[in-house]
Amino acid sequence: MTEPQKGSHLPPAYYCEEKHRLIQEFVEANHVLMTLLSEQTSAVIDEDPDFSRFDDLLHMARERKDHAKYALIAHVDQHHC
């Protein structure tokens, strides 16, 4: 069997705009979370006594990241893209 014939049972690759939008949301949510974690770490290193002020922001950022992740997973599972 030649190389092209091996993969012939797979559907053709296509661009899924929704998948890429969901990927972008996930990446942006992760970026926000990592930025907040970095800022909190800097606050601890700088001995800022109010470093816990990041806790609520971190909680919200984690929720946003998880929501984006599960939306992406659900889309890929449903549409196989």
pLDDT for 13 beyond 80: no
pLDDT for 11 beyond 80: no
Q: Residue 53: inside a domain, yes or no?
A: yes
Q: Residue 7: inside a domain, yes or no?
A: no
> Which residues are within 8 A (CB) of 24 and not within 5 positions of it... i.e. 6 or more apart?
none
Q: Residue 1: inside a domain, yes or no?
A: no
The tally of domains found in the chain comes to 1
Distance of CA 21 to CAs 8, 25, 56, 75, Å?
28, 6, 26, 11
If pLDDT is split at 50, 70 and 90, which confidence band does 10 have?
A: very low
Q: Residue 29: inside a domain, yes or no?
A: yes
Cβ contact 29:65 at 8 Å: yes
Predicted TM-score (pTM) of the model is: 0.77
Cα–Cα dist 1/71, whole Å: 38
* pLDDT recorded at residue 9: 59
Q: Residue 4: inside a domain, yes or no?
A: no
**Structural domain that includes position 68:** 15-79
- The pLDDT tens digits of the residues spanning 14-57 come to 789 999 999 999 999 999 999 999 999 999 999 999 999 999 99
